[in-house]
Amino acid sequence: GESVGLHLPTLSVQEGDNSIINCAYSNSASDYFIWYKQESGKGPQFIIDIRSNMDKRQGQRVTVLLNKTVKHLSLQIAATQPGDSAVYFCAEKISSYKLIFGSGTRLLVRP
Amino acid sequence: NAGVMQNPRHLVRRRGQEARLRCSPMKGHSHVYWYRQLPEEGLKFMVYLQKENIIDESGMPKERFSAEFPKEGPSILRIQQVVRGDSAAYFCASSPRPARGYGYTFGSGTRLTVV
């Protein structure tokens, strides 16, 4: 996977369709999770977060689902727009200050 | 209120030179975190500093890398005798207190290229 320098997985969607980006996390003790969006040449930008006592959280056009049983997160983007094209990372908080990032998924939105 | 400011945005160094990366946290923030991102990978934690103190440097390579956050001025990540493998994007984030229970804001990064 990407941790050894291979290409990022890419999700290509039609503009207006819904996107689902998946992420597996590693630490069953993690109690807080964040999705970040990173556009080319920029730093990660916070999208949405969720605590481990929840299994779903909704924002504007985005929803995060958490399945603690299988240690899986997903980010759903409704009505995907060209401006959503970016690399998306999930991150888990393993201490009060330290984040562990997943390997990322590139989202391409076709006009 | 400006966000986390990093400079330079791009830095090119020859092998063996020193690289100094600067991070000015958001106003009122006294906690700084440095992460490194290799191409096509996620960010990896390097170091967590408070003013004048290193709290956790478990992600820093043992040699050639150092970080400081002085009482006045920006936080500095210093890489001595750079090698090609140091080429990466280095991101800084800040928070007003230990970032419990929430994420933190990243700067736009410094892209280091070692030639």
Confidence grade of residue A55 (pLDDT, cut at 50, 70, 90): very high
Q: Tell me, what's the pLDDT at B2?
A: 72
The answer on pLDDT for A91 being more than 70 is: yes
Provide, rounded to the nearest whole percent, the portion of chain A with pLDDT above 90. Answer: 76
Contacts of B39 in chain A (CB under 8 A): 5
pLDDT at residue B85, as a whole number: 95
pLDDT in tens, A79-90: 999 999 999 999
Tokens encoding A60: 């504007």
What residues of chain B score a pLDDT lower than 50? Answer: none
A8: closest chain B residue by CA: B40
**Closest-CA residue to B88 (of B57, B48, B59, B68):** B59
Average pLDDT on A76-81 reads: 98
Give the C-alpha separation, B70 to A16, whole Å.
Answer: 49
Q: What is the mean pLDDT of residues A62-71?
A: 95
For residue range A14-35, list pLDDT tens digits in order.
999 999 999 999 888 888 999 9
User: How far apart are the CA of B8 and the nearest CA of chain A, in angstroms?
Assistant: 13
Taking the C-alpha atoms of residue A98 and residue A102, their distance in angstroms, rounded to an integer, is 13
Query: What token pair was written down for A44?
Result: 């990660």
State how far the Cα of A101 lies from the Cα of B5, in Å rounded to an integer.
Answer: 22
Looking at residue B100, its pLDDT comes to 65
Q: Do A103 and B108 touch (CB under 8 A)?
A: no
Contacts B56 to A, Cβ<8 Å: 97-98
Q: Determine the distance in angstroms separating the CA of A16 from the nearest CA of chain B, rounded to an integer.
A: 27
Q: Does residue A2 carry a pLDDT above 80?
A: no
Over range A92-111, report the average pLDDT: 90
Is pLDDT at A74 greater than 60 in this prediction? Answer: yes
Contact status of B5 with chain A (Cβ, < 8 Å): no
